């Protein structure tokens, strides 16, 4: 039995449901289609499905194995994308299955055609650790979900500044990126920013997430040494643009 793994990125709820249903019902004798879930090895993907509205961002966040370039499907949009197959939005499950069958019904998923070999894809980022400082539960969970698409899964959530950092002792962690929640009336965010900038091994990038109603604190965050400012509740486009710039 051969299994073809399919990874979906940035699809709306309706299209994502169509993909899930089609994969459940599709396949034939000796062939199964399965959705690649978070936590599974993304390098197993044979097919990647991306929404046209977030296609460029999805490509920038996607890491693909060099030796097995997967098939790429672009959903929606009027212009075609070189190296990617196109399906209309709303996505129709039978159209998706017809395309998958044309690729895999008589071919091994380990030897896909080189149709996507001309697409330049950035290498998987080397992330030591990401700090989520003083973030509310909702923002922390949203960040974890979104950053998983960028293969950033080593995150540490802290609310209080650890003693070793406060007392400038030997670092116990090296954070590559730091996201700090800023609520203007709470001094803890400013204490975090000061502590991070005093570290021997400073984070490469520090991102401030402003609490609702505190957008006017953005300039103060930049003056305090933040590299980027995001506004809560977090918006997908702004967060993706921020991750691309890190």
pLDDT tens-digit map of 227-241? 999 999 988 778 877
Phi and psi, residue 219, nearest 5°: -60, -40
> How does 172-183 read in b/e, with b if 16+ C-beta sit within 10 Å?
eeebbbbbbbbb
Of 81 and 224, which is predicted with more confidence?
A: 224
241 with 134, same domain?
yes
Question: Are residues 112 and 30 located together in one domain of the fold?
Answer: yes
Per-residue model confidence (pLDDT) at position 229:
96
Q: Are residues 110 and 134 in the same domain?
A: no
Q: Which two tokens stand for residue 30?
A: 């000796």
- Please state, for a pLDDT cut of 90, what percent of the chain lies above it: 19
Identify whether residues 66 and 106 lie together within a single domain: yes
Average pLDDT of the residues in 56-71: 59
The total number of structural domains that make up the chain:
2
Q: Where are the beta strands (DSSP E) in the chain?
A: 2-9, 31-35, 47-51, 71-75, 85-87, 130-133, 155-158, 177-182, 205-210, 228-231
Among the three residues 94, 116, 138, which one is the final residue of a domain in this structure? 116
pLDDT for 60 equals 60
Alpha-helical (H) ranges within 26-183 are 55-61, 93-104, 137-148, 163-166
6 and 108 share one domain? yes
Average pLDDT, the chain: 78
- Mean pLDDT calculated for residue range 61-74: 63
In a domain, 125, yes or no: no
Domain end call among 60, 83, 116: 116
pLDDT over 50 (residue 39): yes
Q: Determine the average pLDDT of the residues in 198-224.
A: 91
Is 163 found in the same domain as 84?
A: no
Span 56-85, average pLDDT: 68
Closest of 179, 153, 183, 194 to residue 238, by C-alpha: 179
Pick the range with the lowest mean pLDDT from 99-103, 129-133, 156-160. 99-103
CATH number of the domain to which 81 belongs: 3.40.50.2300
Residue 47: which domain range? 2-116
pLDDT digits (tens, 9 = 90+) for 145-200: 777 666 577 888 999 998 888 887 776 677 889 999 998 777 899 999 999 988 88
pLDDT digits (tens, 9 = 90+) for 105-128: 764 444 444 333 333 333 333 445
At residue 62, the pLDDT reads 59
Q: Which of 82-91, 105-114, 140-149, 212-221 shows the lowest mean pLDDT across its residues?
A: 105-114
pLDDT of residue 152: 72
Same structural domain for residues 103 and 174? no
């Amino acid at each position: 039995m051969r299994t073809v793994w399919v990874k979906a990125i940035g699809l709306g709820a309706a299209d994502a449901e169509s993909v899930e249903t089609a994969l459940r019902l599709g396949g034939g004798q000796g062939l199964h289609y399965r959705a690649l879930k978070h936590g599974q090895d993304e390098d197993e993907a044979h097919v990647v499905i991306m929404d046209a509205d977030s296609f460029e961002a999805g490509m920038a966040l996607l890491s693909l194995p060099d030796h097995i370039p997967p098939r790429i499907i672009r959903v929606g949009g009027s212009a075609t994308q070189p190296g990617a197959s196109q399906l209309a939005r709303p996505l129709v499950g039978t159209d998706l299955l017809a395309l998958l069958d044309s690729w895999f019904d008589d071919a091994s998923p380990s030897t896909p055609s080189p149709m996507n070999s001309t697409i330049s894809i950035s290498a998987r980022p080397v992330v030591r650790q990401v700090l989520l400082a003083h973030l509310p539960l909702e923002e922390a969970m949203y960040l974890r979900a979104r950053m998983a698409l960028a293969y950033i899964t080593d995150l540490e959530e802290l609310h209080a500044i650890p003693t070793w950092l406060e007392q400038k002792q030997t670092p116990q962690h090296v954070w590559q990126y730091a996201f700090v929640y800023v609520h203007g009336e709470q001094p803890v965010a400013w204490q975090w920013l000061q502590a991070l900038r005093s570290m021997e091994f400073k984070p490469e990038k520090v991102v401030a997430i402003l609490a609702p109603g505190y957008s006017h604190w953005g300039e103060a965050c930049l003056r305090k040494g933040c590299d980027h400012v995001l506004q809560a509740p977090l918006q997908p486009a702004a967060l993706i643009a921020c991750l691309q710039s890190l």
